[in-house]
């Protein structure tokens, strides 16, 4: 295998496509009840690959496994333990992790509907279908898995036309994967923010932004005598179980749409235009997706360099926290002297903009889907919170759970000190639990050019985590290997 | 930093005793009866750590003999003013508790003179970093109180003119004066830097380059040899970066992310041989020099989130202890290290056994992300007891609060400066 090849036929389609034509989707969370039957099904289940299909397929199936799932299949312990530590320990089973991610209070795993305790899914089956095709497809798949699996939860999704339940266009900020592998494989400082991302940031077995290969299970070729698995690009003597696979995070986020709009409305004094402005400031985009920092033709091509103090887009706005869009080094004068000064931290102006840096190592490929019935703003303003059950089945893909999902969730979204802020966490996702020293976290600041920042306080919790799990989304050959008896043998 | 070997068979009981000092695992109760840290007003941070010799196993891979080293207790703190004064204060306020701790150490008996014993076990610091030299605990607490009062008081309306900004500033000044007179706010004026301290700093500023100049000709003559020695070692030194045990990782993580700041303690063996021993010694002198004269007000190169850090040699310079207090999560701290100052990390730590491969002393190394992350976690040691005098405050908070106070006391600000000051609130 030469460097430069990408085996699209071995990669699950979700890494390349959002399946937007397949507007219907359903996520089945399964537990294995009969190992042999489960393995037989996994050995032959039709998984849709990343090869472009024309026309777009009527249905698509994607499949991922949790650590518990690998163990239930009987995969050897040393293989399981060679996955990343975060995947091995899972989501929602460790209090240190919950604290770090902000899964506390109403979002604590003890309260989850699924994903903790006995309710950890083994297998995630994602079904996508063109309008009207889902019911029959799902029925057929469920019939196929009935022998091997129990259904823990079946997560329905709803078509909201690309708009998430609060009413904002979703999924705009996505990295662009370097499928052509045009980016040089080396560790090189990037002086401008770019959406183009090395494949290895999302796919195991390919070089990442550091020019290195992320840890994944590499097997002695004796454990793969039929060469079911690809060989590792960096270590060709080893079989690469990770190659063409990715980690997948699934979290069910319940959104309190009435709570959000009623709070914003009250802060805006009931004025519709002020309400829109404030909501847009909290999100960092208008409901139509326009970034509030600047109007641009391409709504995913901008950064915050011209707004270092957050006068136009608050520093704590949701999309600014989730993707601060900065380069490896703050910008400055051209020339070696300026570069050296900035690198050594001796440039005071650069330091001011250096609290958050190197966004390229902390990107996520998001593939979430909304659920529940859409709630119009008018209904949200008059309705009670409990009367609506809607939210997001958040899904993201990445090769490094710690550096991507967990970092963004903890150091950027949940942090009360992001970019020098205080007393606030993400305006949408924050749990509002007071800090350990008693200081509040339920504020939101809007820096003003004329005078002190405007500060909102008493933000309620708008989003509650109802469940979640980490999965491995294997390459298709790796899936067949995991389903075979070969993966069970000890070395 | 105090380092003392444990007496045989006393480790379990010491661990149990140290645990009673905590309010949550690893975080000290500031008023715990053993060492009531909060009573020592000049103490910023303190920690108690047990260090064993488990990682010495790496020497086997190098084929050098592995001396068995006793587990040691280390007690360290970061304080305002001379350390010996704070030690004396500790003995006075927590003498009994300290005795109960050190009674687990070799050679400590009932009639040991506590202060003399502590001084005898004090190890010289090879290099230390202080985020803002001269910022005292008292100042931090007073300025934090000031910030809270001002932020709660200020009317958050648009300011339309310079005159209005100045009026707002004057109003807040008189408000603070009233509060101060009523005793509700205290703003102690800066104590002058002691004369001898300034002399010592100046002497250090000049002496180190002078000595360097003295050796420069020799270094230039020897440079081809030194480069050869470095490069041959860099291409052959073994990398030892296995994944840390899940259990060990869990024991570290349970201590983290309680406060906005976290602690880090790590230990490692210096690569055997005189070359690495001398190289790391010289580099730590240079780093100490930079920390004392260049990086004194808010940043260590590009990193602005380290409160205090230090490197200490133990066991006849065969091992180094590194400790720091930093803001944010461990993952964020390490990513900052890799993305902002990997070169600086490589300078020192590449002289440690097993460090990911470097090139020319500053390239590679910590930039080999996965190896580096496994290495640093494997070398990290759980901190049994950790104390921070100002929980809830990050360095950004401290610096902002300092600027708020400076601006409040400054009556000569321009309109733009006054406006910028108002935005801090």
Q: What is the DSSP letter of B326?
A: E
* pLDDT value, residue B216: 93
Residues 360-379 on A with a CB inside 8 Å of B are: 361-362
Q: What is the pLDDT of residues A331-371, one digit of tens each?
A: 999 999 999 999 999 999 999 999 999 999 999 999 999 99
* Interface contact A354, partner B, CB < 8 A: yes
Q: Given an 8 Å threshold on Cβ–Cβ distance, is A451 in contact with B335?
A: no
| Domain of residue A318, residue span | 258-359+415-467
Same domain? For A169 and A234 the reply is yes
- CB-nearest to B367 from A81, A210, A355 is A210
What DSSP designation does B303 have? B
Q: What is the CB neighbour count within 10 angstroms for residue A471?
A: 27
Same domain, A36 and A133: yes
| Nearest alpha carbon to residue B80 among B137, B127, B128 | B137
Of A357, A402, A416, the CB nearest to B340: A357
Nearest CB partner across the interface for A436, out of B299, B368, B391: B391
Identify whether A327 is part of a domain. Answer: yes
Give CB contacts under 8 A, 24+ apart, made by B111-117: B115/B87, B115/B88, B115/B91
Q: A94 at the B interface (CB within 8 A)?
A: yes
Cβ B300–A100 below 8 Å, yes or no?
no
The arithmetic mean of pLDDT across residues A217-233, rounded, is 94
Do residue B260 and residue A435 have CB atoms under 8 angstroms apart? Answer: yes
A397 located within any domain? no
CA distance B65 to chain A (A): 31
Residues 452 through 471 of chain A touching chain B, CB cutoff 8 Å: 452-455
Q: How confident is the model at residue A1 (pLDDT cuts 50, 70, 90)?
A: very low
Residues A59 and A46 in one domain: yes
CA distance B401 to chain A (A): 12
pLDDT band at A3 (very low <50, low <70, confident <90, very high): low
Which residue's structure tokens are 């004066």? Answer: B177
* Tally of domains within chain B: 2
Given this model, what pLDDT does residue B162 score? 85
What's the sign of the alpha-carbon dihedral B164, B165, B171, B174?
negative
Give the Cβ contact number of residue B291 at 10 Å: 19
Looking at the fold, whether A41 and A136 belong to one and the same domain comes out as yes
Q: How far is A454 from chain B (nearest CA, A)?
A: 6
In this structure, is residue A403 part of a structural domain? no
| Element counts in chain B: helices (H) and strands (E) | 13, 12
Does the pLDDT value for residue A409 go beyond 90?
Answer: yes
Distance from CA of A423 to the nearest CA of B (A): 10
Contacts of A126 (CB under 8 A, 6+ apart): A14, A25, A26, A27, A28, A61, A62, A63, A64
Rounded to a whole number, what is the distance in Å from the CA of B114 to chain A's nearest CA? 34
Instruction: Identify whether residues A51 and A168 lie together within a single domain.
Output: yes
Specify the higher pLDDT residue, A276 or A5. Answer: A276
User: Which pLDDT does position A5 carry in this prediction?
Assistant: 85
Which of B339, B342, B376 to mutate to probe the A interface, most A CBs <10 Å?
B339
From the list A137, A134, A166, the residue with the least C-alpha distance to A261 is A166
Of B300, B301, B331, the CB nearest to A411: B331
Would you say A177 and A202 are in contact if contact means Cβ atoms under 8 Å apart? Answer: yes
Please name which of B367, B301, B130, B283 lies closest in space to residue A341, comparing C-alpha atoms. Answer: B301
Same domain, A204 and A321: no
pLDDT tens string A281-338: 999 999 999 999 988 888 999 999 999 999 999 999 999 999 999 999 999 999 999 9
Q: Which of A343, A345, A420 sits opposite B396 (nearest CB)?
A: A420
Contacts of B370 in chain A (CB under 8 A): 212-215
Alpha-carbon dihedral sign for residues B356, B358, B361, B363: negative
Count: domains in chain A: 2
Q: Is the residue at A380 inside a domain? A: no
Q: Which residue of B has its CA nearest to A402?
A: B331
Tell me, yes or no, whether A192 and A281 share the same domain: no
Identify whether residues B370 and B403 lie together within a single domain. Answer: no
Nearest to A447 among B294, B332, B423 (CB): B423
A96–B257: do the CB atoms touch at under 8 Å?
Answer: yes
A65, A123 Cβ separation under 8 angstroms? yes
Taking a C-beta distance cutoff of 8 angstroms, is the pair A260, A427 a contact? no
Let me know whether B240 and B207 are in one domain: yes
Q: What is the pLDDT of residue A449?
A: 87
Centre a 10 Å sphere on the Cβ of residue B416 and count the other Cβ atoms it contains.
10
Across the interface, whether the CB atoms of A212 and B368 are under 8 A apart is answered yes
C-alpha–C-alpha distance, residues A289 and A170, integer Å = 8
Beta bridge partners of A391: A254, A371
How many Å apart are CA A381 and CA B312, to the nearest integer?
A: 61
pLDDT at position A385: 64
Are B304 and B372 contained in the same domain? Answer: yes
Q: Give tens-digit pLDDT for A420-471.
A: 999 999 999 999 999 988 899 999 999 998 888 999 999 999 999 999 999 9
Q: Say whether both B181 and B233 belong to one domain.
A: no
Q: Where are the beta strands (DSSP E) in B131-213?
A: none
Query: What residue of A is the nearest CA neighbor of B164?
Result: A451
Q: Which residue of A has its CA nearest to B391?
A: A437
3-state class (DSSP) for residue B388? strand
Do B34 and B169 lie in one domain? The reply is no
Task: Give the tens place of pLDDT for each residue, B133-184.
Answer: 999 999 999 999 999 999 998 888 888 888 888 999 999 999 999 999 999 9
Same domain, B111 and B145: no
Does A157 reside within a domain?
yes
A88 located within any domain:
yes
Q: Tell whether A100 lies on the interface with B, counting CB pairs under 8 A.
A: yes
Same domain, B310 and B338: yes
Mutate to test the interface with A, among B260, B358, B374 (most CBs of A within 10 A): B260
Say yes or no for a CB contact (<8 Å) between B302 and A420.
no
pLDDT in tens, A125-149: 999 999 999 999 999 999 999 999 9
- Asked if residue B261 lies in contact with residue B388, where contact means CB atoms within 8 angstroms, the answer is yes
Indicate yes or no: CB of B335 within 8 angstroms of CB of A407: yes
Given a cut of 60, whether residue A491 has pLDDT beyond it is: no
Inter-chain touch B331–A402, beta carbons under 8 Å: yes
Q: Which of A132, A126, A125 is nearest to A23 (CA)?
A: A132
A417: nearest CB among B160, B249, B328: B328
Task: State whether B308 and B276 are in the same domain.
Answer: yes
Q: Does A189 touch chain B (CB under 8 A)?
A: no
> Which of A207, A449, A452, A454 has the highest number of chain B CBs within 10 A, making it the mutation to test binding with B?
A452
Average pLDDT, chain A: 94
The total number of residues written for chain B in this structure? 425
For A258-285, write each residue's pLDDT tens digit.
Answer: 999 999 999 999 999 999 999 999 999 9
Confirm whether A409 is domain-assigned: no
Residues A64 and A15: beta-carbon distance below 8 Å: no
Q: Report the C-alpha gap between B311 and B280 in whole angstroms.
A: 11
Cβ <8 Å between A437 and B400:
no
Range of the domain at B401: 137-190+394-424
Residues A125 and A225 in one domain: yes
CA atoms of B424 and A401, how far apart (whole Å) = 36
Can you give chain A as a three-state secondary structure string?
CCCCCCCHHHCEHHHCCCCCCCCEEEEEEEEECCHHHHHHHHHHCCCCECCCCCCCCCEEEEEEECHHHHHHHCCCHHHHCCCCHHHHHCCCCCHHHHHHHCCCHHHCHHHCCECCHHHCCCEEEEEEECCCCHHHHHHHHHHHHCCCEEEEEEEECCCCCCECCCCCECCCCCCEECCCCCCCCCCCCCCCCCCEECHHHCCCCCECCCCCECCCCEECHHHCCCCCCCECCCCCCCEECCCCCEEEEEEEEEECHHHHHHHHHHHCCCCHHHHHHHHHHHHCECCCCCECCCCCCCCCCCCCCCCCCCCCCCCCCHHHHHCCCCCCCCCCCCCHHHHHHHHCCCCHHHHHCCCCCCHHHCCCEECCEEECCCCCHHHHHHCCHHHCCCEEEEEEEECCCHHHHHHHHHHHHHCCCHHHCCCECCCCCCCCCCCCCCCCCECEEECCCCCCCEEECCCCCCEEEEEEEEEEECCHHHHHHHHCHHHHCCC
8 Å CB contact of B158 and A343 = no
Q: What is the pLDDT of residue A487?
A: 81
- Nearest chain A residue to B342 by CA distance is A343
Nearest in space to B203 (alpha carbons), one of B132, B292, B135 = B292
Residue A19 lies in a domain: yes
Residues of chain B with pLDDT under 70: none
Contact A96 B370 (CB under 8 A): no
Confidence of residue A180 (pLDDT cuts 50, 70, 90): very high
Cα distances (angstroms) measured from residue A407 to each of A89, A93, A207, B267 = 16, 18, 20, 26
Distance between CA atoms of residues A137 and A133, nearest Å: 6
B276/B168 Cα distance (integer angstroms): 59
User: Are B84 and B125 in a shared domain?
Assistant: yes
């Amino acid at each position: 295998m030469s460097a430069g090849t990408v085996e699209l036929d071995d990669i699950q389609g979700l890494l390349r496509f959002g399946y937007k034509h397949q507007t219907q989707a359903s996520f089945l969370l399964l537990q294995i009840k009969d190992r042999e039957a489960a393995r037989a099904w996994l050995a032959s289940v039709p998984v849709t690959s990343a090869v472009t299909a024309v026309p777009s397929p009527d249905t698509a199936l994607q499949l991922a496994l949790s650590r518990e799932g690998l163990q239930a299949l009987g995969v050897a312990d040393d293989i399981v333990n060679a996955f990343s530590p975060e995947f091995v320990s899972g989501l929602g089973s460790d209090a240190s992790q919950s604290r770090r991610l902000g899964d506390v209070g109403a979002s604590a795993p003890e309260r989850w509907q699924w994903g903790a305790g006995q309710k950890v899914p083994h297998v995630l089956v994602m079904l996508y279908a063109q309008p009207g095709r889902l019911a029959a497809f799902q029925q057929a798949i469920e019939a196929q898995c009935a022998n091997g699996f129990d259904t823990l939860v079946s997560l329905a999704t709803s078509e909201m036309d690309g708009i998430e339940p609060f009413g904002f266009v979703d999924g705009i900020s996505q990295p662009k994967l370097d499928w052509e592998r045009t980016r040089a494989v080396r560790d090189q400082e990037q002086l401008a923010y770019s959406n183009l991302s090395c494949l290895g940031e999302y796919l195991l077995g390919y070089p990442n932004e550091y020019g290195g290969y992320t840890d994944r299970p590499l097997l002695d070729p004796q454990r793969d005598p039929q060469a079911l698995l690809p060989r590792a690009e960096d270590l060709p003597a080893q079989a690469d179980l990770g190659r063409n696979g990715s980690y997948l995070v699934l979290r069910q986020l319940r959104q309190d749409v009435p709570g959000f709009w009623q709070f914003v409305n009250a802060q805006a004094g009931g004025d519709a235009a002020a309400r829109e402005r404030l909501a847009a400031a909290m999100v960092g985009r208008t409901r139509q997706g326009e970034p509030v920092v600047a109007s641009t033709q391409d709504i995913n091509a901008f950064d915050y360099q011209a707004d270092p103090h957050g006068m136009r887009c608050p520093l704590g706005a949701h999309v600014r926290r989730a993707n601060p869009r900065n380069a490896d080094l703050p910008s400055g004068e051209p020339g070696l002297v300026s570069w050296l000064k900035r690198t050594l931290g001796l440039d005071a102006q650069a330091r001011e903009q250096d609290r958050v840096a190197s966004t390229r190592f902390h990107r996520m490929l998001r593939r979430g889907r909304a659920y529940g019935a859409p709630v119009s703003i008018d209904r949200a303003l008059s309705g009670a919170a409990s009367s609506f059950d809607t939210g997001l089945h958040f899904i993201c893909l990445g090769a490094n759970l710690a550096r991507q999902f967990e970092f963004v969730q903890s150091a950027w979204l949940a942090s009360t000190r992001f970019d020098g802020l205080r007393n606030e966490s993400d305006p949408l996702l924050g749990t509002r639990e007071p800090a350990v020293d008693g200081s509040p976290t339920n504020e939101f600041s809007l820096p003003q050019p004329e005078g002190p920042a405007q500060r909102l306080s008493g933000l309620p919790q708008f989003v509650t985590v109802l469940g979640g799990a980490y999965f491995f989304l294997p390459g298709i050959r790796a899936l067949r290997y995991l389903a075979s008896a070969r993966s069970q043998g000890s070395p | 930093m105090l380092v003392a070997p444990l007496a045989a068979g006393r480790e379990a009981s010491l661990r149990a005793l140290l645990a009673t000092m905590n309010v949550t695992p690893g975080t000290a109760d500031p008023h715990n009866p053993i060492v009531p840290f909060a009573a020592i007003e000049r103490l910023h941070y303190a920690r108690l750590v047990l260090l064993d010799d488990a990682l010495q196993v790496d020497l086997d891979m190098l084929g050098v003999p592995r001396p068995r080293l006793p587990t040691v207790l280390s007690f360290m703190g970061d304080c305002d003013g001379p350390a010996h004064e704070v030690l004396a204060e500790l003995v006075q306020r927590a003498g009994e508790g300290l005795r109960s701790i050190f009674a687990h150490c070799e050679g400590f008996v009932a009639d040991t003179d506590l202060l003399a014993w502590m001084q005898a076990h004090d190890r010289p610091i090879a290099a230390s970093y202080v985020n803002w030299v001269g910022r005292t605990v008292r100042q931090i607490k007073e300025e934090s109180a000031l910030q809270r009062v001002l932020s709660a008081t200020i009317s958050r309306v648009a300011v339309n003119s310079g005159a209005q900004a100045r009026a707002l500033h004057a109003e807040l000044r008189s408000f603070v004066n009233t509060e101060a007179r009523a005793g509700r706010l205290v703003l102690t004026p800066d104590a002058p830097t002691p004369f001898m301290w300034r002399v010592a700093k100046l002497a250090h500023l000049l002496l180190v380059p002078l000595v360097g100049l003295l050796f420069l000709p020799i270094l230039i003559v020897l440079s081809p040899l030194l480069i050869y020695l470095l490069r041959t070692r860099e291409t052959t030194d073994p990398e030892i970066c296995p994944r840390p045990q899940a259990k060990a990782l869990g024991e570290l993580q349970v201590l983290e992310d309680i406060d906005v700041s976290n602690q880090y303690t790590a230990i490692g063996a210096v690569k055997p041989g005189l070359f690495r021993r001398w190289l790391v010694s010289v580099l730590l002198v240079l780093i100490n020099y930079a920390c004392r004269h260049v990086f004194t007000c808010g940043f260590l190169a590009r990193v602005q989130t380290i409160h205090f850090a230090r490197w200490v040699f133990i066991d006849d310079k065969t091992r180094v202890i590194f400790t720091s207090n930093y803001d944010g999560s461990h993952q964020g701290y390490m990513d900052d290290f890799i993305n902002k100052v990997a070169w600086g990390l490589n300078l020192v730590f590449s002289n440690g056994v097993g460090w990911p491969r470097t090139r020319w002393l500053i390239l590679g190394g910590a930039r080999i992300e996965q190896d580096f992350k496994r290495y640093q976690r494997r070398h990290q040691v759980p901190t049994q007891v950790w104390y921070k005098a100002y929980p809830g405050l990050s360095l950004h908070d401290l610096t902002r609060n300092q600027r708020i106070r400076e601006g409040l006391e400054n009556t000569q600000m321009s309109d733009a400066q006054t406006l910028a000051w108002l935005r801090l609130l």
